[in-house]
Structure 1
């Protein structure tokens, strides 16, 4: 059973974490001081530690150093009050997993600790999988992947900024993490920012911070990501979606290593290393007036191109088994292999969503499989011959289908999940439904994400995040 240790002298804070983890599958233990926290750590051996910086008998940093010395792979999340962000960043440089700011946002707490538990599990995996954390390992032996890894090895120790190009789902963030982990800044913060997920009006504030009164609602000074990161590494993911005014500030930062907060006039110096990634053709965006040519040429000095999965088909068996072992272990299911026919089906598919789509497909197959082997029938979304879904019906033509009109694969999935038991049946069924719904909505709108988001009643940023998570791309 996963165990969480919360070290904080405020009872309301400890109670907040118990509210987040009402599920008996996670055990929450608490302590109110450095001495008590160390005693509980030695006795309970928690998977994740949450630690307040200010404790009655000393600094949380002191306890952090003792925890790190005992087990450097144990994720530690700091809690910091307003005005102590510098100390929290120092903790990040020393190896803390992340930090939370008081007052606590329970939704943020839940998401962050979920990632921390995942990291703890991956970093303490049995030796059956490689020693490196599964989420941070590039899998593949084809020449194109090996050449890419050699280039990463040459670029990582340099302080040069790097542009990472590749289709959605190819593993651009994985390449960025490899560049970071093998750099001289590996002991300093790494922040990944999805530019496409930020509203245009908030991009500059998020990246560079703002002064009090800079705009309506700016009632206090905010430290931006670049300032927070110090001399660490920042990944600007989906940089092709960055608004032009923010691009101008990024260009100045790359040229002069300075920037200003929104509404400020005081230059702030930085030594941050910038990695940028995109799945778009930046030269086409330049021609359309949507991306600055001078920023593109500043970024492209060092470029890593991540190959699509269709160009490295020989890696598919190794990737599929890698994801099979990982998700079978996480789900507690004894699924060990693919039938030759299933592997052939995987290798013949075009994978428009690339490695991310393959991972999601294998994860679904883990739940579909009735025994220890995955068969073609356990890969229904690939179609009978590895092809696409059948044509989508016109969802505007009439009433919504009733449950008895549901696709047989969905009914079979529900029956399988209910038969297998567990406490996440709802989430697993919703994942299947969401994949089918978004795929058909995009097909219905001929791949137009704006029309699809309007049809679905969700904003475009939410749709894009879901498409990335599910490995779905618009047709064509």
Structure 2
């Protein structure tokens, strides 16, 4: 159970945290002095700490330094009634997660705590490669997954930028955490920023911070992720959604290892290792003027492609059993496994939502089944999945494709990202049929589809469409 420690000498503050933020899955601990707070840290090992700057037996900065020395990964949030003090700014520079002013805005505090617990989870729940004990495992013995894991093992110890590509739900964050966990920076912070989840106007502030008065509403100085992360690792998720203005500043950071806060003029050095992830085709974004070509090449010093689940169906039984026993433990259910026809059903489905969809499916089945063995009827969204059609990877054998039925099945299966999943299926079907129509001639297919050949080849790779040698009337490619 996650633990929150509040170190504040005001009883009303501690009471407010216990009353407002107490939950069945969060334990609230309190302390009123530095000495008591340190005892709590040593005995209870809280995941997140809220720390008052002024305490009866000294400055909260003293306790902060002891906490950082013992465990630099633990998120510490400062609260103070003394405005935007330079001491608090210094604390942020040295790795404090955030700071808030009293009287506390509970809604704002709730958001900060949510991000802090997520940061603690990312840093503490390390990702393990196959046959590596502990952590969230990257599961898969298929050749594609083994090659990916070998690549992670080779590049993790190297301080190079890595671009992680893959469809939604394939496990890009898990790959990023595996790189971090096996790197020389594993003892330093790991932070993540979802570029798609933040309004464009605030992305630069989140990354680089801002000075007081830098823009309307900037009533205090803010330290961004690059300063908070120190010499740790920063994951920029959904990098394709980063606005162009922030991309220009990112380019300078990667080139010069320096940046400036918004509204500031003082260069700030950084030694953060940058990992970037996206499910978009960056080459197409570059062609459309939505992504910088020079930033793209700075980010992709090393590129890791996370395969879609439909490309590694041999891994489905192992993944399914992993999720089954994981959620059976959580639900305190005595489940023994899958009926053979259930595993057959799982392997016949294409999983457009990838591993995340499989995970959601198994979790729902665990809570819904009344028996000890999962049957096809326990997977309501997949019961009517027809026998596997001919693979669309062969242009000579187009699959049967009922768009209406497919959409209805996705809406009923309880998964998310239906829009992206439908678009991926339609795109895969369209490209496969275009290639069949042109007898496998990629240049003609790209002209027919209205996309350039580089984009077509990228889509072939991302969508898992492979071509055998196809000889056309024009002699092929």
The answer on whether the counterparts of 1:383 and 1:389 sit within 8 Å (CA) in structure 2 is no
The aligned runs of 1:90-169 (5 Å cut-off) are 90=94, 101-102=100-101, 103=104, 105-108=108-111, 111-112=114-115, 115=118, 131-134=133-136, 137-169=137-169
Larger Cα-atom Rg:
2
Q: Which residue of 1 aligns with 2:398?
A: none
Deviations 1:437-460, CA, capped at 9 Å, x for gaps: 97499979x99xxxxxxxxxxxxx
Q: 1:246 to 1:386 in 2, by over 3 A?
A: farther
Partners of 1:437 and 1:170 lie apart in 2 by 13
Q: Which residue of 2 aligns with 1:363?
A: 363
Deviations 1:332-381, CA, capped at 9 Å, x for gaps: 33334222111111111101111111111111111111122211111111
The answer on whether the counterparts of 2:162 and 2:299 sit within 8 Å (CA) in structure 1 is yes
Secondary structure of 1:50 counterpart: strand
Q: 1:37 Cα shift?
A: 4.1
The aligned runs of 1:346-425 (5 Å cut-off) are 346-385=346-385, 391=404
The aligned runs of 1:270-419 (5 Å cut-off) are 270-385=270-385, 391=404
Q: 1:145 Cα shift?
A: 0.9
Q: Which residue of 1 aligns with 2:266?
A: 266
Q: 1:375 to 1:100 in 2, by over 3 A?
A: farther
Q: Which residue of 1 aligns with 2:175?
A: 175
Secondary structure of 1:214 counterpart: coil
Partners of 1:117 and 1:209 lie apart in 2 by 21
The aligned runs of 1:52-63 (5 Å cut-off) are 52=51, 54=53, 55-57=55-57
Q: Which residue of 2 aligns with 1:471?
A: none
Q: Which runs of 5+ in 2 are unaligned?
A: 388-400, 427-477
The answer on whether the counterparts of 1:48 and 1:74 sit within 8 Å (CA) in structure 2 is no
Q: 1:77 to 1:130 in 2, by over 3 A?
A: farther
Q: Which residue of 2 aligns with 1:247?
A: 247
Deviations 1:232-258, CA, capped at 9 Å, x for gaps: 111111111111121111111111111
The answer on whether the counterparts of 1:335 and 1:369 sit within 8 Å (CA) in structure 2 is no
Partners of 2:113 and 2:231 lie apart in 1 by 29
* TM-score normalised according to structure 2 size: 0.71
Q: 1:63 Cα shift?
A: 6.5
Partners of 2:75 and 2:225 lie apart in 1 by 20
How many positions carry a matched residue from both structures?
A: 398
Q: Which residue of 1 aligns with 2:390?
A: none
Partners of 1:218 and 1:211 lie apart in 2 by 7
Q: Which residue of 2 aligns with 1:461?
A: none
The answer on whether the counterparts of 1:7 and 1:32 sit within 8 Å (CA) in structure 2 is yes
Deviations 1:43-88, CA, capped at 9 Å, x for gaps: 8x57656352644335667768988999x79967554445525435
Secondary structure of 2:213 counterpart: coil
The answer on whether the counterparts of 1:51 and 1:60 sit within 8 Å (CA) in structure 2 is no
The answer on whether the counterparts of 1:145 and 1:307 sit within 8 Å (CA) in structure 2 is yes
Q: Which residue of 1 aligns with 2:222?
A: 222
The answer on whether the counterparts of 1:2 and 1:46 sit within 8 Å (CA) in structure 2 is no
Secondary structure of 1:236 counterpart: strand
The answer on whether the counterparts of 2:145 and 2:307 sit within 8 Å (CA) in structure 1 is yes
Secondary structure of 2:192 counterpart: strand
Question: Of residues 86, 91, 95 in structure 2, which corresponds to 1:87?
Answer: 91
Is 2:34 aligned against 1:16?
no
Partners of 1:380 and 1:361 lie apart in 2 by 9
Secondary structure of 1:152 counterpart: helix
Partners of 1:115 and 1:241 lie apart in 2 by 21
The answer on whether the counterparts of 2:140 and 2:146 sit within 8 Å (CA) in structure 1 is yes
Partners of 2:119 and 2:162 lie apart in 1 by 28
Secondary structure of 1:192 counterpart: strand
Q: Which runs of 5+ in 1 are unaligned?
A: 93-97, 124-128, 395-406, 410-431, 448-476
Partners of 2:203 and 2:370 lie apart in 1 by 47
Q: Which residue of 2 aligns with 1:413?
A: none
Q: 1:62 to 1:328 in 2, by over 3 A?
A: farther
Q: 1:213 Cα shift?
A: 2.3
Partners of 2:157 and 2:24 lie apart in 1 by 45
Greater alpha carbon shift after TM alignment, 297-306 vs 51-60:
51-60
**CA-atom RMSD in angstroms:** 4.0
Partners of 2:123 and 2:213 lie apart in 1 by 41
